[in-house]
Structure 1
């Protein structure tokens, strides 16, 4: 009996020793010869025994994991709904110096040929490695890994949704571009796309974009409608299936589908909102990005959408 009690106490001690404390931790994975960092937020109440979902959130161009945590409220949502919130850091020109919005911006290789593509950053390989690292370190539900992102991070979200369709259950890009004219994910990945009607960096009509702080070109974008349609076509949601499901209080939502596997694609436009995260905190000057909006909480809406979707089988 004493031996049994000792074994139980030892097991409890080992569990307590390995159970992650709630809060944030900075982790590193190697991609080829390059070390890449990401921040994972462990929610309150995580025991390390029951498997939990994962939300991967990509910062905008020039942003950081820390800034995105402040802007979006994903850590509070993680505590409320009990999932791991993951904030990868993009590639920056000078890795010997800290990230800086203008002087040393962190960016994503989002498929546009801009930004991190010039540095030949393997961001898809990076996220694949980060997911593998998370599976080793934490008790995660591999059928419920989701991706969201803002601006350049939203464009990265579209890319991840296509190239890691076997691992990502659903995506939610905000104020970014689907750069690939004909995305063809191996699995139809559900998508919720959010943007503002007054966004100077992701205009509804598309066109050439210039950075307001430097005047440099950020490329020529398709229209927001074409962004959504690209994903709808790629997931088998026909153009004729488009229907308005909400048009109230300055919020308009269009839905396409169902497509392959019952996939649906949603486009939410927020009247009067600029290049910001709806319901979040804007860290850039309004003169650059326009007004924010509290007509919806993007974080709440996205989590409600994510919570309805899962892979049908756990990836290997």
Structure 2
């Protein structure tokens, strides 16, 4: 993580480790709050940061008990940050992935996530070099945006039910290791995208977004290198430049985090070659 060492030193004086669980006060860093669910393993602990959807909270993320348990049972921590307050007429938080859409006063989310990882490393013995950034819906928009702009920030990225907004970026920095998951019948974030705000904003096209990551990963061809299935998931993957990974999993449901996603994603992550 960028500037991680200096952040760790700055946070070392934060006092004794706090539990920061779903039912206890959140852990605070200068730019915001987060909660954590820890596995029963010795550290350093790998982790999945999971970003909630629009109007959600970190506490709500840890209420996704099936997904959280699947991750902690594999020996990973689940770190659940809070987005900043959204609008006066909406509770919960949102992420600053599009300045003209989400907030009048955006937050530097990459810097916030750096603070969260550094604090979790100091308080909870999380391994800062072994963190996956994942998220759902608006959280997935944030994950996709950061994967494009700063792919070196995390070990891998795993957006669920979200991608880019239009206009799509011209290019991504790359290379990246990314596992994208989406529902075939998703009507909130359709595969093709949709207009919002009386046409002022446009969600992007999921497949078009994947083409940006193929370019960043040096893929010679647009067609998948291979296909496989995991239960109901239909998966396509691209084998491109060394150190890169790109996979797309389609499931038959709508807008949600599907059962089986956590184990499938972690199997993918653990099967990647060391970068």
For Structure 1 versus Structure 2, the TM-score category normalised by the shorter chain is: 0.7 to 0.9
Aligned pairs for 1:232-247 (under 5 A) are: 232-246=214-228
Mapped to 2, the partners of 1:112 and 1:255 lie a distance apart of: 32
Preserved contact between residue 37 and residue 62 of structure 2 (Cα < 8 Å)? no
* Aligned counterpart for 2:190 among listed residues 203, 211, 214: 203
- Give deviations 1:105-153, integer Å, cap 9, x for gaps: 411111363113x232222221111112122223232321111000010
Q: Mind listing any 5+ residue stretches in structure 2 that lack a counterpart?
A: 1-15
Residue of structure 2 in register with 1:254 after alignment = 236
The match for 2:135 among 134, 149, 152 is 149
SS at match of 1:37: strand
Return 5+ residue gaps in structure 1 as ranges: 1-17, 211-215, 280-296
2:38 is matched with 42
Deviations 1:11-34 (A, max 9, x none): xxxxxxx78779555201103xxx
CA distance in 2 between counterparts of 1:209 and 1:71 reads: 27
Partner of 2:30: 30
- The aligned runs of 1:203-282 (5 Å cut-off) are 203-209=190-196, 219-246=201-228, 250-259=232-241, 261-271=242-252, 273-279=253-259
2:45–2:126 CA contact under 8 A, matched in 1: yes
CA distance in 2, matches of 1:310, 1:145: 15
Matched, 1:66 2:59: yes
SS in 2 for 1:110: coil
TM-score of the two chains, using structure 2 as the length reference: 0.81
Aligned to 1:288: none
- What is the aligned length? 256
How has the CA–CA distance of structure 1 residues 201 and 22 changed in structure 2, closer, same or farther, with 3 Å as cutoff? closer
Structure 1 residues 80 and 265, CA, compared in 2 at 3 Å: closer, same or farther? same
Q: Secondary structure at the match of 1:176?
A: coil
In the TM superposition, residue 218 of structure 1 has moved relative to its aligned partner by 7.9
> Is the Cα–Cα contact under 8 Å of residues 136 and 257 in structure 2 kept in the other structure?
yes
CA contact (8 A) 1:175 1:196 kept: yes
- Measured after TM superposition, the shift of residue 244 of structure 1 is 4.6
Alignment correspondent of 1:178: 164
RMSD over aligned CA atoms reads: 2.8
Please tell me whether residue 107 in structure 1 is matched to residue 102 in structure 2: no
Distance 1:222-1:167 versus aligned 2 partners, 3 A rule: closer
Structure 2 equivalent of residue 294 of structure 1: none
Q: 1:231 to 1:163 in 2, by over 3 A?
A: same
* TM-aligned CA deviation for residue 197 of structure 1: 1.1
TM-score with structure 1 length normalisation?
Answer: 0.71
The offset of 1:251, in angstroms, is 3.2
Given that residues 52 and 141 in structure 1 are in contact (C-alpha distance below 8 angstroms), is that contact kept between their aligned partners in structure 2?
yes
Instruction: Give, in whole Å, the separation in 2 of the partners of 1:163 and 1:137.
Output: 28
Q: Provide the C-alpha distance between the structure 2 equivalents of 1:223 and 1:199, rounded to a whole number of angstroms.
A: 13
Q: What does residue 298 of structure 1 align with?
A: 261
- Decide whether the 8 Å contact of 1:202 with 1:224 is kept in 2: no
